[in-house]
Amino acid sequence: MREVTATGHSVEAAVESALAQLKTTKNQAEIIVVDKGKKGFLGFGARSATVTVRKLVTPLETAEQFLQDICSQMGVNASIMAKKSGRNIFFELKGDKIALLIGKRGQTLNSLQYLTQLVINKNANEYLRVTLDAEGYRARRKQSLIQLAERTAHKALKLGKEISLEPMSSNERKIIHNALTGIKNISTYSSGEDALRHIIISPDIKPVQKARK
């Protein structure tokens, strides 16, 4: 229910009645006074006040509906869990055919996250940061990236040369950087532009060359 028309002995009473029915507050509603009412004289000619109150759609609700529409269009029957912590919004998608929402190496999920962030910030009073996950994919992907980083770092040390990883999002590049921060004689830096930006893992020492006999 998003709109209620209520009456009361005063405008204030009618508004309170409508807000209670909508389970919302004044700052989350649009209030239209239809009739201010009339007190009458000695009980005659009195008329109740009438108001129409519309519950405003929050940015979070707008983003949630956007995700639901996308899932429906992709033929995915998904449930959406939303959680807000300060300016951070977390959405978790669960359901059948969830792999369609993740895509290859999370590319579809990352695109949906970007679009959802645009939608939620369109009418928000403050900038909100969105994280979109699907069936715990982000945690699995993070662990996979850490393992990749460590394997590649050891390989770079063994070969004594730089090794480039595939292009990744800024969040995934950050995971790689952080994973290798504590590894001795290994440094990382990003190269490339936009969608081609990637991590380069570089050894700070050269391998010891075997002496010729």
Tell me what percent of the residues of the chain surpass a pLDDT of 90. Answer: 68
**Mean pLDDT throughout 10-34?**
88
- What is the predicted pLDDT for the residue at 23? 86
pLDDT exceeds 80 at position 45: no
pLDDT band at 135 (very low <50, low <70, confident <90, very high): very high
Higher pLDDT, 22 or 41: 22
Amino acid at 131: T
Residue 107 has pLDDT above 80, yes or no: yes
Average pLDDT over residues 85-114: 93
**What pLDDT, on a 0 to 100 scale, did the predictor assign at position 179?**
95
Q: Cβ–Cβ contacts within 10 Å for residue 79, how many?
A: 10
Q: How confident is the model at residue 211 (pLDDT cuts 50, 70, 90)?
A: very low
Question: C-alpha angle 206/144/87, rounded to 5°?
Answer: 110
pLDDT at 42: 64
pLDDT at 210 over 70: no
**For 145-168, b where at least 16 C-beta lie within 10 A, e where not — what string?**
beebbeebbeebbeeeeeeebeeb
pLDDT at 212 over 60: no
Least confident interval from 65-79, 90-104, 198-212 = 198-212
pLDDT at 207 over 80: no
pLDDT band at 28 (very low <50, low <70, confident <90, very high): confident
* This model's pTM is above 0.75: no
Contacts of 47 (CB under 8 A, 6+ apart): 35, 37, 38, 40
Domains detected in the chain: 3-55 (no CATH), 59-135 (3.30.300.20), 139-203 (3.30.1370.50)
Q: What is the pLDDT of residues 143-185, one digit of tens each?
A: 999 999 999 999 999 999 999 999 998 889 999 999 999 889 9
Higher pLDDT, 137 or 42: 137
Q: Which residues pair with 33 in a beta bridge?
A: 51
Reduced to 3 states (helix: H, G, I; strand: E, B; else coil), residue 38 is strand
* Chain centre to alpha carbon of residue 209: 50
- The pLDDT, as a whole number, for residue 39 is 81
The rounded percent of the chain whose pLDDT value lies above 70 is: 93
